[in-house]
Amino acid sequence: MRDPVKIMGSLSHKSPHSSVLRGMNRTLLFLFVLSASCLGAQSYDAALGLRLGTEWGATAQIRLPLVQKNFVAETILQSSLQRDEGLFTILGKQHRPLLSRRLNLFYGAGLHTGWNNEIDPETNEKSAGPFGVTGVVGAEMTIGKVNLSYDFKPAVNISGGNSVLYTQTAVSVRYVIAKRHDIWDKAKERDQRRARKQRQRDKRKAQRQQDREARGKQWFEFWKKGN
């Protein structure tokens, strides 16, 4: 009687699916190694670079841990590829790490203002520059000193501009000029975060005390009638 282990081994070598399975195993191994390397990586405090999409221009980002540890302020100076117009935008963005700090989803909002060199055909005068509110949502990835992101950035003009709504998308490539905690001291940032949480706890505690005093009873004194 033949050894069943040898039989299964010979069948696996002869099976047309064996090469596919080996390829899948290599792919899974590669993804595992890649994710492990990302998990051990470090994020950034500041980065600047270029963006290109429906507009082109320059972008700069800085992390503001005094607001929240993953809160980022971004400034964008851009020129439209569709109109003779430019925009300056300031955004506040909340980043949400996905697997690691190197891979983020983000969302936020801000203000924009700009200039318009186009001539209004009705008045034969230069159009007013746009001013309004901008939103943003997207994803970014940092590899070494290079930060890559893609975003959707709708802009609503309160005044000026060629239309009320601009729908803008772009890919940004930035160079990391300061790694995480190069600008903000790690220990000081941690102490500030703890102090902020303690103030929030104290505020909630004081509010609960005021509520109890207003009711005229403790939370467990259910038999008493409140004021």
Residues 6+ apart with CB under 8 A from 68: 94
Q: What would be the CATH architecture of the domain defined by 44-179?
A: Beta Barrel (2.40)
pLDDT at 100: 73
Cβ(51)–Cβ(79) below 8 Å: no
Neighbours of 200 (CB within 10 A): 10
**Residue 215 CB-density burial (10 A; 0-12 exposed, 13-18 middle, 19+ buried):** middle
Cβ(85)–Cβ(56) below 8 Å: no
pLDDT at 11: 44
Element (H, E) at 4: helix 4-14
pLDDT at 164: 93
| Distance (Å, whole) CA 83 – CA 221 | 69
| Distance (Å, whole) CA 58 – CA 110 | 17
Q: How many helices (H) and strands (E) does the chain have?
A: 3, 10
The angle that helices 4-14 and 18-39 make with each other, rounded to 10 degrees, is 90
DSSP string for residues in 5-52: HHHHHHHHHH-TTHHHHHHHHHHHHHHHHHHHHHHT---EEEEEEEEE
Nearest CA among 176, 90, 93 for reference residue 136: 93
Nearest CA among 105, 150, 101, 159 for reference residue 128: 159
| Distance (Å, whole) CA 162 – CA 153 | 17
Nearest CA among 165, 170, 139 for reference residue 154: 165
pLDDT at 162: 85
Residue 155's beta-bridge partner residues? 134, 166
Residue for token pair 């992390």:
63
Average pLDDT of adjacent 10-residue blocks, the chain of 227 residues: 49 49 53 41 82 95 89 95 92 89 90 88 80 96 93 95 92 93 74 75 82 67 61
Cβ(51)–Cβ(58) below 8 Å: yes
